[in-house]
Structure 1
């Protein structure tokens, strides 16, 4: 399913997708409301979403689909080359974040990969997220590494505490420590960093 408020953009993407083997466009939408109306009717496997829409944002759609259509895998396709937008999209549950400068053939490849269960970022975004250090996790304790991975899995502090068998306050302490060691400021930046590294095959263990 393609979500963009510019019809000419939707048509161009639809042509690329329909030409690719194994892919079919099942619906188009130009707003948040239209998307949330149509998606449950066609039950798409992948939803290609622009971030800027007339009645809200792509983040609104990703969050709503997470509840109403969890099997739909969101892919952001946007002109916003912005760390905060990237972090917000990944935190909401986006499985890929692509800029509209991407080549047409790459869009089809990413859709197929996301449908197969992968989380991807485009090369420029992955390189930017690597920052200046080869491994900013080098000084993390084993517990902090586990928390880092679970943040990357989209878990809340409470869920991480339950998984690790520790108090939520302990989880918050681990997050404060790992943020400081990695040179980050917010939890959403951690989620974005992990997603970027996983796209290139990185694991903490």
Structure 2
């Protein structure tokens, strides 16, 4: 699988020097002590534990990081645990190279790709969530917390700036800006810039 991913990433334009692989959580943590990746591809079934703990650690240390799970595990518990820990997207290993490459590209553009099989599993949970008391839903409206950088970028989005313009204004890479916007989408439970701005205003996060 490592060799397969190396080939896919090289086809996407990455040089071998820009890529690194770790076969366990311990080795990944050692790499992270000296490196700050823009994108991580994480499996859940690792020799020394669950990748979910690694995802949680990655998200805590780098809120803007793009984290894509590529795993054979497709149970509801594993899927939801990974997404709650901070995974950006989730794709199954048995997808072909083109589908995995598309998911990687989508994450880097600020998207949150979810494997179709997994998306169906998540949709099955919606009826239960929709039946929650309205009062609880109202309470949830105030629970979104954006970082200082995310708030700053959200204001730029509200001004109508593109990802490239935001990156130039804030002196960050375009990929970093896109990852921040993706995190904003996730926290606000939206899928577009217009909805993000509208939702933020409803929550009092924007004037």
Deviation of 1:123 after TM superposition, in Å, equals 0.9
Q: Which residue of 2 aligns with 1:119?
A: 112
Deviation of 1:64 after TM superposition, in Å, equals 1.4
Once superposed, which parts of structure 1, at least 4 consecutive aligned residues long, lie more than 3 Å away?
A: 21-25, 132-136, 148-151, 198-203
Show CA shifts across 1:9-46 (max 9, x none). 10111101111146875211001011111134332111
TM-score, normalisation: structure 1 = 0.62
Gaps of 5+ in 2: 147-185, 200-207
CA contact (8 A) 1:26 1:44 kept: no
Find 1:131's aligned residue among 107, 121, 124. 124
For residues 64 and 101 of structure 2, the distance between their equivalents in structure 1, rounded to whole angstroms, comes to 19
Deviation of 1:105 after TM superposition, in Å, equals 1.3
Q: Which residue of 2 aligns with 1:66?
A: 59
CA contact (8 A) 1:137 1:145 kept: no
User: Secondary structure of 2:140's partner?
Assistant: helix
Find 1:11's aligned residue among 3, 8, 12. 3
**Is residue 33 of structure 1 aligned with residue 19 of structure 2?**
no
Gaps of 5+ in 1: 1-8, 155-194
Cα gap change, 1:108 to 1:130, in 2 (>3 Å): same
Find 2:41's aligned residue among 41, 48, 51. 48
Cα gap change, 1:37 to 1:71, in 2 (>3 Å): farther
Deviation of 1:73 after TM superposition, in Å, equals 1.8
**Is residue 110 of structure 1 aligned with residue 127 of structure 2?**
no
Deviation of 1:70 after TM superposition, in Å, equals 3.1
Deviation of 1:149 after TM superposition, in Å, equals 9.1
For residues 85 and 143 of structure 1, the distance between their equivalents in structure 2, rounded to whole angstroms, comes to 25
For residues 94 and 15 of structure 1, the distance between their equivalents in structure 2, rounded to whole angstroms, comes to 23
C-alpha RMSD of matched pairs (Å): 3.6
Q: Which residue of 2 aligns with 1:76?
A: 69
**What is the total number of aligned residue pairs between the two structures?**
156
Show CA shifts across 1:69-115 (max 9, x none). 33322111111110000111011000111111112112122112212
Show CA shifts across 1:45-82 (max 9, x none). 11111101111111111111123333322111111110
TM-score, normalisation: structure 2 = 0.61
